[in-house]
Structures are given as C-alpha cells and as structure tokens.
Amino acid sequence: MIFPRLPKNIQRPTSNGQRSTSELPNSSFRRHRLRSGMTMIELVAALALFIIIFGVLLTIMNTATNLWSSSRSQSREQGSGQRILALIDNDLRQIATDSGSVSNDTGISSPTLIIKTPPPVRSEDDLFIVLQFARHASANTLDNDISEMPRLSLDAVYYTFYKNTLFRHVIPLSASFDGTTPLGELLDDQRSRIESKAAHDQLIAAARNPTPSTSPDWTCTLLAERIELDLLASLPEPYARPSSQQRIPASQTEGGLRLPPEYDQLETDTVPDRLDVSLCLYSAEDWSTLDRLMDDTSKASELKKRHLGQLFSKRITFPTRGGLRLP
C-alpha cells in the first residue's frame, strides 16, 4: 500500500472562518535540534570547571607523592642509623687495650683508645678520627699488608668524619715478636694511611657513582652522608690522659659518691665506663634547609632546626671490662 506524502503545513478552518497553519511535529523537532548546541559562555564555564578540578587532583597527587618520598627517605635513614649504632656497639664490645712498655724515647706511649667529637665550628675539608681503637681480628678483614711481619690477632679500627660523612676503616695489625711494641704505637703507625683525604674522596665518589673505581687497599666503608655526630664517654679522672677535654666535670651526689666526669674528647689506655653515641641523619631536603638557616639565629629558625633530620642515640656500657668503677 502506498501512502500519500503529507504536506509540511496543514491548514484547518477556525471559528471565525479563517484558516490557521499548524506545523507537523517533525519540523519542530528539526528546529530544536538546530538550537541544542553549547553557547560560548557555557563552553568557557565548563572549561574553567575542568581546570579547577584538574588542579585540585594534581595538588592532591603531588602532596601524596611528597609524603611517600618523605616516608621512604625516613625509613631509609631509620635503617641506616640503627645499623651504624649496632656496628659501633659490636666493634667496641670486642675492644682490646694494652699497658705494655714504652718503646720511644719520650717515655710516653700513644693512647690505646681515642674518642673525639667533631667541633661544631669546623671547615668542611677537615678530617677527624672520631674513634680509634683495636679489636679482635675478624675473618672478613681485607688483608693486603705486604710486610713480612706476622699478623696479630687484632685489627685496628678507625671511624673518621670528613665532609659531614662518616667512614669506617679496618686494618689488620702486624708486629714482630722480637720486641714489645705498645698497642697504641701500632695504631698510630696506621694513622698516616687513614688520614688521607684522597682515599675518602674516592669513597664519596664511588658512593655517588656506581661505576667501578679504585678504593684503598684496606677494609673501608662509607656509613652515611649528611650526618652530625656526638660522642660522650664517662671515665674516672685518673684513667684519662691530660689531653682529654671534659664536657661535664665530676659531680658530688648527696650520698657523698663522686660520679666520674664525661669527656667529648678522650685519650686513654683503658675502656671507659660507658660511651653515649648520638647521630643525626639528614635527608637532602633537610640538609639544604639546615644550610640555608645556618646563619639565622632567630627563635623561629632555631625551632625549625630542631625538627630537621632524625636523631639516633645509644648508650654502650662495658660491664665485663671494668663496669662502673668506684673510687
């Protein structure tokens, strides 16, 4: 069946005899489709809303990324600080002392144990041996000593501080059994090797660049960069050498007991009662902030400095090697 095509407009009579024209629904739908597009104002408003939402999401994402990076850095520094304290504790637990005869002409032997806290005001290129002592030999110690003297069952251990970086060095000790050489002199014989700044620069370069590089011919390790170190040893005055510097003098208690003084720089031939080790490790961002606030002495700056870095501390006691000595 074929239906006739309807006209576009249909005229129908009205009450007053005139004809009115009514459009078909199809023509009204077409006109509505032509007017359904977005105006320029609506487009600009939608674009502005999209930019605002995108900016908020980007800010949230950036904040979350910074928090994740900070948490990861703190976790890494937490593990590094605990490892350093455990390593120092393990080394000092196996410390060896000596009160052998003096072999030099001055009649004064070198100290067996040296503890030195780096001063707060120092040059970046200054090198400090913060710990020097001998410990029982370890099978993991690198032995490249070409001397013909027999190796002792002791290793020389040095902790050095250079460019705000902490290093650990272990060198096997050798000596002739024909004569008696004090342990302090054997330790001093190796100091010239340890005090080489070039060797420390090689370790720093190797830590920052993983490509193969030369290293000293003894066991040496870069423990941590961007670090502040504080050492405080407690020892009765008769056991400390005159060159030692007291931070806290001996105090008198109510019961009449005189407590031993505390030294931030100590030279002795025996083991102290205890050693307090404090480390503060900084991330790269905290270190940059600390360097920027170094010359600022305002109250707000000092308060901000206290919240930079992570602080680790440990008290090392030696109960089996003297303990708390009473006068």
CA-to-CA distance for 95 and 110, rounded, in angstroms?
A: 16
139 close to 179: Cβ distance less than 8 angstroms: no
CA-to-CA distance for 275 and 315, rounded, in angstroms?
A: 6
Q: Which two tokens stand for residue 253?
A: 């208690």
A 10 A CB-CB count for 40 gives 7
Please report, rounded to a whole number, the percentage of residues in the chain having pLDDT higher than 70.
Answer: 70
Positions in the chain short of pLDDT 50 = 24, 100-107, 321-327
Hey, which residues does 222 pair with through a beta bridge?
167
pTM greater than 0.85 = no
What confidence score (pLDDT) does residue 105 get?
A: 44
What confidence score (pLDDT) does residue 151 get?
A: 75
CA-to-CA distance for 230 and 36, rounded, in angstroms?
A: 76
- Terminal Cα-to-Cα distance of the chain (whole angstroms): 128
CA-to-CA distance for 286 and 292, rounded, in angstroms?
A: 10
The answer for residues whose C-beta is within 8 angstroms of residue 126's C-beta and 6 or more apart is: 118, 162
For 249-288, b/e burial (b = at least 16 CB within 10 A) is: eeeeeeeeeebbbbbbbbbbbbbbbbbbbbbbbbbeebbe
Angle (CA) 224-225-228 rounded to 5° is 90
Hey, which residues does 154 pair with through a beta bridge?
136
What confidence score (pLDDT) does residue 304 get?
A: 83
DSSP state of 9: E
What one-character-per-residue DSSP string does 19-41 give? EEEEE-HHHHHHHHHHT-SPPHH
CA-to-CA distance for 110 and 104, rounded, in angstroms?
A: 10
24 close to 17: Cβ distance less than 8 angstroms: no
CA-to-CA distance for 217 and 220, rounded, in angstroms?
A: 9
What confidence score (pLDDT) does residue 322 get?
A: 44
DSSP state of 252: B
- In terms of C-beta density within 10 A (0-12 exposed, 13-18 middle, 19 or more buried), how is residue 134 classed? buried
Tokens 């480390």 — which residue?
Answer: 279
